[in-house]
């Protein structure tokens, strides 16, 4: 009996527990719907709020904030930016007047009920100002050197190579064989085709001379006095942007020309983004060849970057020196030590993966590490060396830190200064205290509750590679002293080329780590102390870090995408959303719709690209750009960048329905966790700010990127899936196509496989690092042997290891077939998707990225659930009665208009099927084809009232005031409705350029801003006579074009950015073009 009583109680408990669980799930589903219909604060879009070139007023700040709040903007990021094309205002950044305006903005934001963030320095990039001195700025290692004979007392003044040089160490080492030997002194003749004026200047050992190139190809033949050994090339660019290829050939014993190598000459970036050595030497190494005849062929590398002004260069490239020598060098040593970065912002996964340097055939060519002597104590404070040199030939190298020269920007002169050291938390805190800290000191905590974020834009300040006390930090991290390896930084081989390359790998890795732990973490910790969060973008131009680790150190991470440059966005959005997913951040923002297009874009134009970004994991917009409007004149203060989004724009206040669309979409996309099958491991190399899908991503599956930090710290296995701390899980881990991996990472991967994970990839063969060399390599080889066994990727492509599986050299399609895991979705080409799961609710987002309508069947990896269609444009939710199940998937017939995007939500168990169709066809019951009264804004001298006999494009009107009109015009007419009212009645406006708001019988029925221009008017229309008003808005462009016409007698627009280019721009179609029709459901 007692046993039965216990069983009864247990059963009651189980029933109650199950009821609680199902009730919780039901509440969760209801919460999702509530958030969709009334999106929470976290979904409100934010804006970049640029105060341009000192054009700032107190009144304008208040009006801007009130306007933002009115349309539903949640937060504004204040940045003070200088545009040289915009006339300077009367407010100097950092002046007392300016600080008062900053205070006013923060206090007003609190009063109005909007939030603000502030960039952590003047300008958008990045963290600097006049308070940063040379000893606190970004620095890199540079050196001077001199050769001396030993067996004597050396008493010399060492060269101080650069201003603000901070000595780190002075070293002496035995000069390697052939260290200074090149073929230049053996040259008998130099000829070229086409005929260059003085091609011999390329080989005169004088960097101040150069040869200019005005066309490609150019062939240069070199004849030597004697046969020489050649094993390296050092090309010294002149300080002129150049994008070309150099190919070096030699005449072999058969008297045929044979190519030694072909290499890119890419020296285009002439500012801080390109690195401290913008025109660094280019070095190639190769197995020794012997010859007396050489040929250099220079060919076109493609067009120079678009912003390079060729008129200043008067040449498409210049080279100072080409040194073909017999010294042993480290290939690409300037790039490998972060002295020179990629010339383009379009960084691929392998941009910063270099060839290994050629191993010299003789140890005599290398620096012997045991001969590297630290003679710093023999140098006085003035740089004089007094040293008893042992016997032999010695090279003395004085190495120290030198400012990279990076400065914050773009800013007015009074706000410019050095960038702060990004590898030193103490310096980071100093910077914060001098800028953000000033606001904190000025405004009591209770009065700055609206100040929510400290902001970091993309990293555009180039690299650094050293900081104070770094030698000791290095020893703690790697367990060896870096200083004996410093000769590698001059391009020499120390011990071996392999070890030298590994030292440079360690340098790049520790730089990336410290940027995340010292700089980003330092700013975040300071922000937290003052009640704020740190928001930032985790990539950049000339970026030296690791994007996932960097973004993980932020509180909130953002990507970006551009209207006018579609190549800027795919990498940035994915690296940001992957970072958020793996580090457990539920929000991924995006700098949205950055552009070079002024006053042309409206919400309809933004929709498709914005929808695409949602499919890439973005779930929150920070619109780029709201430029502060100090005055009420329109269009107002503007610049060359950003989609114009401000209170002086024609459509800003009309765009509230679009902002609601963004919010509703964000509400669902911020729910739950990202669903993805694949975790692509980026590897451990740095810099790294993008990934690669290798092997290719199968259709209907999604992915995230992952780094070593998350794998080591958070990855576990549950039910055969890799599960991270946030709860997000993946079916397969894909390894990068690399031969290197550190032992601790491979050990973790082995643990995951043995615990049940599936891994696809090739075994590593060695560590990339000099740490614990060569034992680390032995460990990697042994672990790889144990994990992969006899899986060779040819005869054997998989093996069961512990509870998991290893795949090698097969596609992901094949891997999933073997695992018998369904695709997540089945959808047509040019449709994108993303999938979130919140408890038991599956949320699929699907976007039609074409301008064509589509009808067809879509499949979802869900079974036993009732599908629903959620439309974020109008907040409509409807049950989809038509669906079927096959092979564990739900298939649904869906239809999309051009650029449509829908959510398909599964939150309830499927019950008995209901009758009906998923989509109901409408029939036209009436066309409003009569006359329309149209009223325009008379401030633009357009008619207060005019009759349009038919609906026509404004730009075809004979009246210039209508032809060039920009703004809102009101169309009014009456119509008699005799149709039914028992089923929904719709108004279809046909073609609208570009946004419309509608009243019927004095009652607002909503606005339409994208295709199809249709909305439900059932609650306003009546039988009999009805009055309709349609308020149609177009952008500023047409009026700006009109003002620039030669026959224009009056100007209606005021802008700060020069707009002469626009006078020849084609007009955009404008107005209500129809046909306007009444529709009812069939």
Q: Tell which wins on pLDDT, 521 or 15.
A: 521
Q: What is the tens place of the pLDDT at every residue in 801-825?
A: 999 999 999 999 999 999 999 999 9
Considering the chain, what percentage of its residues have pLDDT values greater than 70?
A: 97
Q: For residue 23, name the pLDDT band (cuts at 50, 70, 90).
A: very low
- CA pair distance 934, 651, nearest whole angstrom: 18
* Paired tokens of 350: 């392998």
- CA pair distance 138, 128, nearest whole angstrom: 10
**Residue 658: DSSP 8-state:** H
- CA pair distance 751, 746, nearest whole angstrom: 9
Nearest to residue 323, comparing CAs of 471, 525, 187?
Answer: 187
> Is the separation of the CB atoms in 459 and 539 below 8 Å?
yes
pLDDT at 344: 79
* Paired tokens of 900: 């449509």
Q: For residue 322, name the pLDDT band (cuts at 50, 70, 90).
A: very high
Q: Strand locations in 358-406, DSSP E?
A: 373-374, 384-389, 393-403
- CA pair distance 493, 485, nearest whole angstrom: 9
In this chain, the answer to whether the domains covering 183-359 and 923-1081 adopt an identical fold is yes
The average pLDDT across 413-421 equals: 98
pTM of this prediction exceeds 0.75? yes
For domain 41-133+409-464+519-669, the question of CATH label 3.30.1490.190 is answered with no
> Is the separation of the CB atoms in 846 and 902 below 8 Å?
yes
Nearest to residue 284, comparing CAs of 337, 330, 321?
Answer: 330
Strands 556-562 and 533-537: parallel
Q: What is the tens place of the pLDDT at every residue in 569-625?
A: 899 999 999 999 999 999 999 999 999 888 999 999 999 999 999 999 999 999 999
Is the predicted pLDDT of residue 2 greater than 50, yes or no?
no
For domain 825-919, the question of CATH label 1.10.10.10 is answered with no
Q: What is the tens place of the pLDDT at every residue in 980-992?
A: 998 999 999 999 9
Q: Tell which wins on pLDDT, 914 or 478.
A: 478
pLDDT at 346: 85
Q: What is the tens place of the pLDDT at every residue in 840-863?
A: 999 999 999 999 999 999 999 999
DSSP result, 530-562: TT-EEEEES-BSS--SBHHHHHHTSSEEEEEEE
- CA pair distance 374, 481, nearest whole angstrom: 12
Is the predicted pLDDT of residue 24 greater than 50, yes or no?
no
**DSSP H helical ranges for 176-276:** none
Of 260-274, 379-393, 510-524, the range with the lowest mean pLDDT is 260-274
What are 78's strand-pairing partners? 49, 118
Q: What is the tens place of the pLDDT at every residue in 117-170?
A: 999 999 999 999 999 999 999 999 999 999 999 999 999 999 998 999 999 999
CATH fold of 675-690+703-801 reads Rossmann fold (3.40.50)
DSSP result, 457-521: --B-S----B-TTHHHHHHHHHSS-SGGGGGGGGTB-BS-HHHHHHHHHHHHHHHHHHIIIIIIH
Cα separation values, 313 from 215, 462, 931, Å: 13, 24, 61
> Is the separation of the CB atoms in 222 and 260 below 8 Å?
no
Q: What is the tens place of the pLDDT at every residue in 206-244?
A: 999 999 999 999 999 999 999 999 999 999 999 889 999
Domains of the chain, residue spans: 1-38, 41-133+409-464+519-669, 139-176+373-403, 183-359, 675-690+703-801, 825-919, 923-1081
Q: CATH says 923-1081 is which class?
A: mainly beta
Which 3-state string (H, E, C) describes 580-621?
Answer: HHHCCCCCEEEEEEECCCCCCCCHHHHHHHHHHHHHCCCCEE
The structural architecture, per CATH, of the domain 183-359 is Sandwich (2.60)
pLDDT at 1024: 97
* Mean pLDDT over each residue of the chain, to the nearest integer: 95
Helix, strand, coil share (%) of the chain residues, nearest 5: 25, 35, 40
pLDDT at 5: 55
Q: For residue 272, name the pLDDT band (cuts at 50, 70, 90).
A: confident
Q: For residue 182, name the pLDDT band (cuts at 50, 70, 90).
A: confident
The average pLDDT across 1048-1056 equals: 93
pLDDT at 8: 53
Q: Tell which wins on pLDDT, 485 or 6.
A: 485
CB-CB neighbours of 793 under 10 Å? 15
pLDDT at 18: 41
Is the predicted pLDDT of residue 9 greater than 60, yes or no?
no
Q: What is the tens place of the pLDDT at every residue in 774-800?
A: 999 999 999 999 999 999 999 999 999
Q: Angle at CA 192, nearest 5°, toward 186 and 196?
A: 110
Of 273-282, 372-381, 887-896, the range with the lowest mean pLDDT is 273-282
């Amino acid at each position: 009996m007692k046993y039965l009583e216990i069983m009864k109680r247990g059963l009651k408990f189980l029933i109650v527990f199950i009821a609680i669980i199902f009730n919780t799930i039901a509440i969760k589903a209801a919460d999702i719907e509530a958030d969709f219909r009334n999106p929470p604060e976290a979904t409100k879009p934010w804006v970049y709020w640029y105060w341009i070139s000192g054009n700032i007023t107190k009144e304008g700040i208040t009006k801007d904030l009130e306007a933002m709040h009115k349309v539903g903007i949640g937060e504004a990021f204040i940045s003070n930016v200088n545009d040289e094309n915009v006339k300077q205002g009367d407010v100097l950044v950092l002046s007392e007047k300016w600080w008062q305006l900053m205070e006013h903005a923060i206090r007003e934001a609190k009063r109005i009920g909007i939030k603000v963030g502030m960039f952590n320095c003047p300008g958008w990039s990045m963290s600097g100002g006049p308070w940063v001195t040379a000893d606190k700025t970004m620095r890199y290692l540079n050196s001077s050197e001199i050769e001396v004979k030993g067996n004597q007392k050396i008493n010399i003044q060492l060269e101080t190579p650069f201003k603000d040089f901070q000595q780190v160490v002075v070293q002496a080492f035995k000069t390697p064989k052939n260290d200074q030997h090149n073929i230049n002194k053996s040259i008998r003749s130099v000829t070229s085709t086409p005929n260059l004026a003085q091609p011999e200047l390329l080989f005169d050992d004088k960097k101040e001379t150069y040869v200019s190139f005005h066309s490609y190809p150019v062939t240069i033949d070199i004849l030597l006095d004697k046969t020489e050994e050649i094993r390296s090339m050092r090309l010294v660019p002149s300080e002129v942007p150049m994008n070309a290829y150099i190919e070096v050939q030699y005449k072999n014993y058969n008297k045929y020309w044979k190519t030694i190598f072909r290499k890119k000459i890419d020296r285009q970036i002439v500012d801080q983004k390109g690195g401290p050595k913008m025109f660094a030497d280019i070095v190639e190494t190769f197995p020794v060849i012997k010859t007396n005849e050489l040929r250099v062929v220079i060919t076109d590398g493609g067009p120079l970057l678009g912003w390079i002004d060729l008129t200043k260069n008067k040449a498409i490239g210049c080279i100072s020196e080409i040194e073909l020598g017999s010294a042993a060098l480290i290939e690409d040593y300037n790039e490998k030590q972060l002295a020179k970065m990629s010339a383009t912002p379009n960084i691929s996964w392998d941009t910063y993966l270099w060839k290994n340097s050629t191993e010299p055939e003789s140890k005599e060519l290398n620096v012997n590490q045991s001969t590297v002597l630290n003679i710093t104590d023999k140098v006085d404070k003035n740089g004089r060396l007094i040293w008893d040199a042992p016997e032999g030939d010695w090279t003395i190298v004085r190495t120290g830190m030198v400012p990279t020269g990076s400065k914050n920007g773009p800013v007015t002169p009074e706000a410019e200064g050095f960038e702060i050291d990004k590898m030193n938390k103490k310096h980071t805190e100093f910077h914060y205290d001098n800028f953000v800290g000033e606001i904190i000191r000025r405004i009591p905590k209770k009065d700055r509750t609206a100040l929510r974020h400290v902001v970091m834009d993309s990293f555009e300040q180039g690299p650094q590679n050293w900081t104070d006390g770094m030698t000791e930090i290095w020893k703690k991290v790697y367990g060896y002293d870096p200083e004996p390896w410093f000769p590698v930084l001059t391009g020499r081989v120390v011990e071996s080329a392999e070890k030298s390359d590994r030292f440079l790998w360690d340098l790049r890795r520790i730089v990336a780590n410290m940027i995340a732990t010292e700089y980003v973490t330092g700013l975040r910790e300071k922000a937290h102390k003052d009640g704020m969060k740190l928001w930032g973008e985790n990539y950049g131009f000339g970026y030296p870090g690791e994007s996932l680790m960097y973004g993980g150190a932020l509180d909130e991470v953002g990507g970006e995408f551009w209207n006018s440059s579609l190549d800027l966005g795919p990498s940035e959005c994915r690296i940001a959303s992957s970072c958020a997913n793996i580090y457990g951040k539920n929000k991924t923002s995006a700098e949205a719709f950055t552009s070079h297009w002024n006053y042309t874009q409206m919400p309809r134009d933004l929709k498709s690209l914005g929808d695409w970004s949602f499919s890439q994991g973005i779930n929150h917009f920070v619109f780029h750009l709201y430029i502060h409007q100090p005055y009420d004149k329109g269009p107002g203060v503007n610049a060359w960048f950003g989609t114009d989004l401000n209170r002086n724009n024609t459509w800003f206040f009309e765009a509230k329905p679009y902002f609601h669309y963004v919010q509703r979409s964000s509400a669902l996309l911020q729910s739950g966790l990202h669903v993805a099958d694949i975790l692509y491991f980026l590897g451990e190399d740095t810099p790294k700010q993008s990934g690669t899908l290798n092997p290719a991503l199968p259709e209907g599956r999604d992915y995230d990127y992952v780094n070593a930090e998350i794998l080591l710290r958070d990855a576990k296995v549950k039910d055969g899936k890799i599960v991270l701390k946030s709860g997000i899980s993946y079916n397969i881990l894909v390894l990068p196509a690399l031969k290197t991996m550190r032992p601790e990472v491979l050990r973790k991967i082995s643990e995951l496989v043995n615990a049940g994970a599936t891994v696809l990839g090739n075994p590593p063969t060695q560590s990339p690092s000099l740490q614990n060399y060569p034992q680390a390599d032995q460990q990697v080889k042994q672990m790889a042997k144990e994990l992969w066994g006899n899986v060779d990727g040819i005869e054997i492509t998989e093996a069961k290891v512990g509870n998991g599986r290893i795949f090698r050299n097969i596609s992901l399609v094949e891997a999933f077939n073997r695992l018998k895991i369904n695709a997540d979705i089945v959808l047509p080409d040019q449709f994108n998707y993303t999938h979130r799961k919140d408890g038991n609710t599956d949320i699929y987002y699907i976007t039609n990225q074409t301008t064509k309508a589509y009808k067809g069947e879509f499949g979802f990896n869900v079974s036993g659930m009732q599908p629903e269609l959620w439309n974020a444009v109008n907040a409509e939710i409807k049950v989809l009665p038509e669906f079927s199940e096959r092979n564990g998937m739900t298939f649904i017939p869906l239809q999309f208009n051009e650029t449509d995007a829908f959510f398909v939500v599964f939150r309830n168990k499927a019950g008995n099927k209901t009758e009906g169709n998923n989509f109901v066809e409408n029939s036209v019951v009436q066309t409003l084809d009569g006359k329309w009264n149209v009223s325009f804004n008379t401030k633009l001298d357009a008619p207060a009232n005019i009759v349009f006999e038919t609906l026509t494009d404004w730009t075809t009107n004979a009246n210039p005031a209508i032809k060039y009109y920009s703004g809102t015009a009101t169309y009014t007419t009456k119509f008699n409705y005799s149709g039914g009212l028992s089923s929904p009645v719709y108004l279809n406006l046909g073609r609208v350029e570009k946004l419309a708001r509608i009243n019927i019988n004095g009652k607002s029925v909503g606005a339409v801003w994208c295709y199809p221009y249709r909305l439900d008017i059932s609650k306003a229309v009546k039988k009999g006579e009805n009055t309709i008003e349609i308020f149609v808005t177009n952008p500023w462009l047409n009026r700006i074009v009109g003002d620039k016409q030669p026959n224009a007698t009056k100007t209606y627009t005021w802008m700060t950015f020069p707009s002469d280019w626009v006078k020849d721009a084609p007009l955009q179609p404008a107005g209500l073009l129809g046909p306007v029709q009444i529709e009812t459901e069939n």
